[in-house]
Amino acid sequence: MDFRNVYILIRKEARDSVKNWWFVLYTICFSALALLLLFLASSRSEIAGFSGFGRTAASLINLVLLFIPLIALVTGAISISNERENGTLSYLLSHPITKSEIFTGKFIGLLLSIWFSISLGFGLAGIAISIRGGGGDISKFLMTAVLSAILAASLLSVGFLISVFSKKAAKATGIAVFLWLVFIVIGDLGIMGSTVAMDLGIKQVFILALFNPTEVFKIASVLTLSPRFEVLGPVGIYAFKTFGREGLFYLLLSVMALWILIPLGYAFLSFSVLRREEL
């Protein structure tokens, strides 16, 4: 793999995303919402010098959970399918550049773009917090941003997997939006339904929740932001007691890493190593 080619593709993707109206709109929305939210919440974020895992943190997690998976999935899903559909991929491939270079460059370029917008949103919110005199522990805030970045990477790689197997960008987008719904609502709803109907035990609920990268992100950020884990109920306590604080954190990080590596690896293999009939 020639990293000069990868770098060229990274630059192209980064550049394209600023020209992408949807991407810019998304970044503005995310930043504005984060700002608004923290301004509203920080007005009573402290009493007598104490603040807690209040609505601010919860809303921030919620915002991340709604926005980042959507943009990451859709961006990923469009990435290759779109170029395949309008022929630019085939044209690009007639040049001395390999599919692995294209795949890698595109992934890194898009990931950087999403990371930039996450950093922008978090940064603006952080400025708002510190001006209002709230904040407190910067390391927790940074950790949440890092977790969001990891979440973005995992869903972007799921998006790439969709993209590799789609000939049409519209279809890929449709699948991405459906998966987004599955990740943030339908999947959890299914676990909740089964818990009520089949009386699932603590362990089963925990294992099922681990299959959802957004849920894993949420548990990890609660673990980061809150000194106590009981906010997640008996399942949280079980996880905490079984693995310990650090153990659990690393477990969650590894699940998220798997959510990056497996879809991405599979997408990479099918796109650039196992040759497929057509592009």
Partner 1 sequence: MIDIREATKNFGDFKAVDKVSFSVKAGEAFAILGPNGAGKSTLIRCILGTLDFEGEIRLNNLDIKENRKEAKALIGYVPQEPQFYDMTTIEVLNFFGSIRRVNKERIERVLHLVGLKEHVFKSTSALSGGMRQRLSFGIALLSDSPVLILDEPTSNLDAYARADLLRLIKKFKTEGKTVLFSSHRLDEVEFLADRALVMKSGKIILESTPHKLGEVLGLKSKLHIKLPQSSIKTALDVLNENGFNNISLNGNKLSIELSHKERILALRKLLLAEIPVEDFNVEEPSMESIMEEVQQNGL
Partner 2 sequence: MHYILALIVVAGVVASTTKSVAETYTVSPTGSINSISKAIGLSKDGDTVEVEKGAYKGRIVVDKSIKLIGIDKPSIDGQGKGTVVLIKAPKCTFKGFLVIGSGESLTIEDAGIVLDSAPDSIIEDNKLEDVLFGIYLKNSRRSLIKNNVIIGKDLPLPQRGDGIRLWYSPETHILYNHTTQTRDLVMWWSGNTLIKGNKIEKGRYGLHYMYSNDNVFEDNLFIDNFVGGFLMYSSGIRFYHNIFARNQGLATGYGVGFKDLDDVVAEENLFIDNRIGLYLDNSPHLIDSWNKIEKNVIAFNDIGASFMPSIERNIIVSNSFIDNAEQIEVRGGGTLSGNKWFKENEGNFWSDYKGYDENNDGIGEIPYLAESLFESLVDRYPNLRIFIFSPVSQAIELASHAFPIFKPEPKVTDEYPMINSYIPEKFKGFKKKFSMGFLIISTLMVFIPLVLYFYLVKKTKGKVSD
112-131 binders of partner 2 (CB under 8 A): 112, 115-117, 119-120, 122-127, 129-131
Report how far apart, in Å, the C-alpha atoms of 157 and of each of 41, 95, 137 are: 33, 25, 31
Q: Read off φ and ψ for residue 47, nearest 5 degrees.
A: -135, 130
Per CB under 8 A, 149 contacts partner 2: no
Considering beta carbons, is residue 36 or 97 the nearer one to partner 1? 97
Q: Read off φ and ψ for residue 275, nearest 5 degrees.
A: -75, 130
Per CB under 8 A, 277 contacts partner 1: yes
Task: Kindly tell me which residue out of 4, 15, 168, 276 binds partner 2, with binding defined by CB under 8 A.
Answer: 15
DSSP-derived 3-state class of residue 277: coil
Place of tokens 């859709």: 74
Binding segment for partner 2 among 92-100, 200-208, 246-254, 258-266 (CB under 8 A)? 200-208
Mask: binding to partner 1, 2-21, rule CB under 8 A, as x and -? x-xx--x---x---x--x--
Least Å distance, CB 74 to partner 1, is 18
Least Å distance, CB 177 to partner 2, is 14
Task: Kindly tell me which residue out of 18, 28, 43, 86 binds partner 1, with binding defined by CB under 8 A.
Answer: 86
Report how far apart, in Å, the C-alpha atoms of 263 and of each of 115, 178, 198, 250, 266 are: 19, 17, 31, 20, 5
Least Å distance, CB 130 to partner 2, is 4
Per CB under 8 A, 196 contacts partner 2: yes
Other CB atoms within a 10 A radius of the CB of residue 40 amount to 12
Considering beta carbons, is residue 94 or 139 the nearer one to partner 1? 94
Per CB under 8 A, 4 contacts partner 2: no
Would you say 225 and 270 are in contact if contact means Cβ atoms under 8 Å apart? no
Rounded distance between C-alpha atoms, residue 145 and residue 220, angstroms = 12
Rounded distance between C-alpha atoms, residue 63 and residue 37, angstroms = 9
User: Which positions lie near partner 1, rule CB under 8 A?
Assistant: 2, 4-5, 8, 12, 16, 19, 86-88, 90-91, 93-98, 275-279
